[in-house]
Every structure is written in structure tokens, then in C-alpha cells.
A = this chain, B = another copy of it.
Amino acid sequence: MSYTTKNFNIPTLKGLSEKQIKVHLGLYEGYVKHVNLISEKLQAVRNGEKELDPYITAELRRRFSFEFNGMRMHEYYFSQFEHSSQSFDEMNENSKSGLTSLTTEKYGNSENFITHIKEVAGSRGIGWVVVYYDSSMKTLHTIFVNDHELGQLAGLPILLALDLWEHAFMVDYLPSEKGNYVDAFFDNLNWGVVEKRFEIVNQISPA
């Protein structure tokens, strides 16, 4: 089993330079590489091809979450820029998904929802703003996850992921300009991708 680096069809972005995206994609590739590196080692141990102290194996396995989430979260992130930006309202016009009713129910309207995500993005520390869908309650949760793996909601599918590691913006912005980066993220976000994610997980009848 081996994960493959995905290619993202990212157009020219507003407020995020080609260099910024290129540097960031390079870091993403590092996560894919390390997921596979850990997986191979653990597999070799399971197969009896490699001997490792069980204590060491456990630590390697513990670290898998950091690398796996580093990979997966960046895939959520970059694919949100694919093709071209689409505003929440444009998405809503062309769609019959229930996403808008969910955001309305919890956050009042799309503007409030975006304002809320921006506020959560102002949390101090390094990590991600993540919007999850909890099918058991048919509700959204907007969370700040530290690093890649500290605070992910258990078992919930992810609809939106906003990277707030410093590497995500420091090619183009200073730390004090993080708010401008967050604005740029929303200028370029393709809400159609977020909606598509919701449609897929919404197929499931709740457990």
C-alpha cells in the first residue's frame, strides 16, 4: 500500500502567489513521503521482514497520525482551490444540497458562517480551522485543530479545511497579516468543492 501525491488543478490565485503555493505543495509531498515511509516500516515489522523493538514500533505508529493528517488535510486544502473560485452564494444558486440549510440553522446565514470561520481562524497557535459534519445530529462543527492531529473530531467527515500553519502564508505575508491571508483564502475558495463533499457524506444513512 502506498499513497500517491495528488496533483491539483490550481488556477492563478488572488493574493496567494505561485511561489507560495509551490512551496506549500512541496511540504505536502513531504507528508505523503513520510506516511509511506512509516507504513512500509510497520508493514515490514508485521510481515516479519524487519525486526524492531515493540516500543519503537509503537512510537512510529503513534506518529503516523501527524504525517497522515499532514497529508490528508493538505489534500482537503488544495482541492478547495481547484478549477476556479466559487462564492457561497454562487454555489447555493446552482445546488439543491442541504448545505445551506445547515449553515443557516447553525450560523444564521452564509455571511455569518464565513465571519465565524474567520473568527476561529484568529485562535492563537498553529493548526487548522476545520468544518465537520455530524450526521447523527445533522449539524456542523467548526473547530480549531492544533498542529495536524491535536483535536480532530473523532470519526466525522470534513467539509472545509483552512490551513493556519505559518508556512501556508509566510511566503506572501507576515504573521501580523494573517487576517489578509484568511481573506485571500476565501477569495479563492471554491465552495462547490465543499458542497460536493457534503453531498457525498450525506448519502450515508446515519449509524
A residues neighboring B (CB under 8 Å): 1, 3, 23, 26-27, 30, 34, 37-38, 41, 46, 52-56, 58-69, 72-73, 76, 106-108, 112, 116, 119-120, 122-126, 130, 137, 139, 141-158, 165-167, 170-171, 174-176, 196-197, 200-201, 203-205, 207
Once bound together, how far apart are the Cα atoms of A207 and B65, in whole Å? 20
Q: Give the chain B neighbours of A158 by CB distance below 8 A.
A: 154-155
One complex includes copies of this chain to the number of 4
- Return the chain B residue nearest A37 by Cβ: B55
- Return the chain B residue nearest A158 by Cβ: B155
Q: A61-B120, A201-B204, A203-B204 given as contacts; is B153 within 8 A of A69 (CB)?
A: yes
B65 touches A145 (CB 8 A): yes
Q: Give the chain B neighbours of A66 by CB distance below 8 A.
A: 124-125, 151
Q: A62-B146, A152-B152, A200-B204 given as contacts; is B166 within 8 A of A124 (CB)?
A: no
Once bound together, how far apart are the Cα atoms of A163 and B22, in whole Å? 25
A122 touches B58 (CB 8 A): yes
**Residue among A63, A112, A201, A203 having the largest count of chain B Cβ atoms under 10 Å:** A63
B154 touches A126 (CB 8 A): no
